[in-house]
Amino acid sequence: MRLLLHPNTPLYPALARVKTYIAKYKRMRHTKHIKLLDYLPFLLGQVYQRRQRQLEKALLPLGLREPEYRVLVALGDRNGCSVSQLAEWSVIDRTTLSRILTPMEDRGLLRRQRSVDDLRSFNVYLTDAGSAMLQHAQPTALSLLQQLTEGIPKEDVNHLKRILRNLNANLDTVEKLRSNVNGVPNAWSAPNTAITEGTRKARTNEESPPK
């Protein structure tokens, strides 16, 4: 026999919460546990972290740390970018990046110059010494990359790059949805259409073969 309570009954809110908790527990019991070796974010993070540790060891004899190498690579491709842009392209958070830039500047590998467009920000430039260090370190990094992709056909590597670009495009779409202060109700419950559009645009920008 079910006991029906009127919403105005003092016990009704508490019983409603209990009912919600029970329903949530039942859903959790039927939820499959994530298997790490089938979980894409884990696999991506595992490869990145292991490669990062190996490159760190390989660069130490050159007097360079792995995050510093990332900064040099980013500046080699986008010299004169802002600190915020450098943080994005080197995949280093702003606070950590500031601690990395100062000793690199002291060693003459780069220089910071106040932006003419925004006096509150700085642009970062690769110096001749920094460019020479980058050229000195690149063979080591490329050798490790070759070992990383050993036995994998070039077509598969290029396909993996395209997939990763599409994943980044999807993340861009998710971030836009999340930062939209006038967001559409239940935007998180069905973002597939917007994400598919982001992926389509990423594919459109891939007319030239990946390097």
User: Residue 14 domain-assigned?
Assistant: no
User: Residue 5 domain-assigned?
Assistant: no
List phi, psi (to 5°) of 122.
-125, 150
Residues 76 and 125 in one domain: yes
User: Residue 128 domain-assigned?
Assistant: yes
Residues 135 and 47 in one domain: yes
CA-CA-CA-CA torsion sign (62, 108, 49, 145): negative
Residues 203 and 145 in one domain: no
Q: Is the pLDDT of residue 139 over 70?
A: yes
Last residue of some domain: 132, 150, 168?
Answer: 150
**What's the structural domain count of the chain?**
2
Residues 157 and 112 in one domain: no
Averaged pLDDT for residues 78-101:
95
pLDDT reported for residue 63: 94
User: Residue 52 domain-assigned?
Assistant: yes
User: Residue 138 domain-assigned?
Assistant: yes
Residue 116's CATH number: 1.10.10.10
C-beta contacts of 153-161 below 8 A and 24+ residues apart: 158/209, 158/210, 161/210
Averaged pLDDT for residues 76-102:
95
pLDDT reported for residue 115: 86
Residues 162 and 134 in one domain: no
Residues 143 and 162 in one domain: no
pLDDT reported for residue 192: 53
Residues 47 and 108 in one domain: yes
Banded model confidence at residue 198, pLDDT cuts 50, 70, 90: low
Residues 156 and 111 in one domain: no
Q: What is the pLDDT of residues 140-159, one digit of tens each?
A: 999 999 999 999 999 999 99
pLDDT reported for residue 37: 84
Per the CB < 8 A criterion, the answer to whether 110 and 147 are in contact is: no
User: Residue 184 domain-assigned?
Assistant: no
User: Residue 28 domain-assigned?
Assistant: no
Per the CB < 8 A criterion, the answer to whether 76 and 94 are in contact is: no
DSSP tag of 53:
H
Using only the alpha carbons of the chain, give its radius of gyration.
25
User: Residue 12 domain-assigned?
Assistant: no
Domain hosting 158: range is 152-176+190-211
Residues 50 and 106 in one domain: yes
pLDDT reported for residue 211: 41
d(CA 98, CA 95): 5
Tell me which of 10 and 211 has the higher pLDDT: 10
Considering only 16-20, 66-70, 119-123, 160-164, which range has the smallest mean pLDDT?
Answer: 16-20
Q: What is the pLDDT of residues 55-78, one digit of tens each?
A: 999 999 999 999 999 999 999 999
Residues 128 and 160 in one domain: no
Q: Is the pLDDT of residue 186 over 50?
A: no
pLDDT reported for residue 1: 43
Q: Is the pLDDT of residue 42 over 80?
A: yes
